[in-house]
């Protein structure tokens, strides 16, 4: 039983907390209590703990078990403890936020954690924002107080890349749009829209605002193809008749895709190595 249930007969005897013992059970106690934990059996009979079953949320039509995401985050190298919550700090913008305590001497790398999660999870289950924490607030029962976790904009989040200021008027216009939509103090020309917390809904909003300030046609697909201010500005500013510029940009996109594929392959290999060690 949970600490908060102790001495509360109405709660501990409720149907949601009691389990009827199986007739074939070797030892049949008068009562069995549901733990509320998520777990799975491995082929060798051991049980993997996946988190709590009472942390289910609905996001953009999908039901998501936060415990499953937390279990994968906690399995990553350098992560000491992680908690995932669904927040709606801006009305209409509900997103998954991961709060992460790193091992001593390790720095949080949001891009690397996202790549690792994408090996096992669909995109809608990958948290948009990652907040570094030194400790988690606790309830009187010594459990993580999820309601007391700070909003992401209240924590200084170190960017994955060193800040480089926009270099021209077009880059500055894009930066201002991203800054307002992503609710971040500044956006560098090499920062990735999605690493800063962007997702499909924000991409649509960014696309709509960009069309109002640039003359060249731009599609939603372009927003995904060119996720940094620098690459997007280069695409928007290029001469459509210049094959050299077009080829150079296509090469940059291909190189970016190759790097992403290499990271996913490395994450998959590490996951397989951990499984072999556990087995």
Choose the CATH number for 51-158 among 3.90.180.10, 3.65.10.10, 3.30.300.30, 2.60.40.1120: 3.30.300.30
Instruction: Give the CATH class of 169-260.
Output: mainly alpha
Question: pLDDT tens per residue, the chain (279 residues)?
Answer: 445 555 555 555 554 455 555 555 555 555 666 666 667 788 888 877 666 656 788 887 888 999 999 999 999 999 999 999 999 877 777 889 999 999 999 999 888 898 899 899 988 898 888 999 999 999 998 999 999 999 887 665 666 667 889 999 999 999 999 999 888 888 999 888 887 878 778 889 999 999 998 888 889 889 888 989 999 999 998 754 444 444 444 554 555 555 556 666 666 666 666 666 555
Secondary structure in 3-state letters for the chain: CCHHHCCCHHHHCCCCCEECCCCCCCCCCCCEECCCEEEEECCCCCEEEEEECCCEEEECCEEEEHHHHHHHHHCCCCEEEEEEEEEEEECCEEEEEEEEEECCCCCCCHHHHHHHHHCCCCHHHCCCEEEECCCCCECCCCCECHHHCCCHHHCCCCCCCCCCCCCCHHHHHHHHHHHHHHCCCCCCCCCECCCCCCCHHHHHHHHHHHHHHCCCCCCHHHHHHCCEHHHHHHHHHCCCCCHHHHHHHHHHHHHHHHHHHHHHHHHHHHHHHHHHHHC
Give the start-to-end residue ranges of the domains of the chain.
51-158, 169-260
């Amino acid at each position: 039983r949970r600490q908060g249930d102790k001495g509360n007969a109405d709660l501990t005897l409720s149907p949601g907390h009691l389990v009827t013992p199986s007739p074939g059970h070797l030892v049949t106690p008068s009562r069995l209590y549901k733990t509320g934990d998520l777990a799975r059996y491995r082929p060798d009979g051991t049980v993997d703990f996946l988190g709590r079953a009472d942390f289910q949320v609905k996001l953009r039509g999908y039901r998501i078990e936060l415990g499953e995401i937390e279990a994968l985050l906690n399995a990553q190298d350098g992560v000491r403890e992680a908690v995932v919550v669904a927040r709606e700090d801006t009305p209409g913008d509900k997103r998954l936020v991961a709060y992460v305590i790193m091992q001593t001497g390790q720095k949080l790398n949001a891009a690397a954690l996202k790549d690792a999660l994408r090996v096992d999870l669909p995109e809608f289950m990958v948290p948009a924002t990652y907040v570094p924490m030194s400790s988690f607030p606790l309830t009187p029962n010594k459990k993580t107080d999820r309601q007391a976790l700070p909003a992401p904009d209240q924590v200084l989040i170190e960017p994955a890349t060193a800040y480089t200021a926009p270099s021209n008027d077009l880059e500055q216009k894009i930066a201002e749009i991203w800054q307002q939509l992503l609710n971040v103090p500044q956006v560098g020309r090499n920062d990735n829209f999605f690493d800063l917390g962007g997702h499909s809904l924000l991409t649509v909003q960014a696309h709509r605002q960009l069309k109002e300030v640039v003359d060249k046609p731009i599609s939603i697909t372009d927003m995904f193809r060119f996720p940094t201010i620098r690459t997007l500005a280069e695409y928007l500013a290029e001469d459509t008749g210049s094959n050299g510029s077009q080829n150079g940009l296509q090469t940059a996109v291909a190189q970016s895709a190759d790097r992403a594929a290499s990271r996913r392959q490395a994450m998959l290999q590490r996951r397989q190595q951990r499984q072999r060690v556990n087995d």
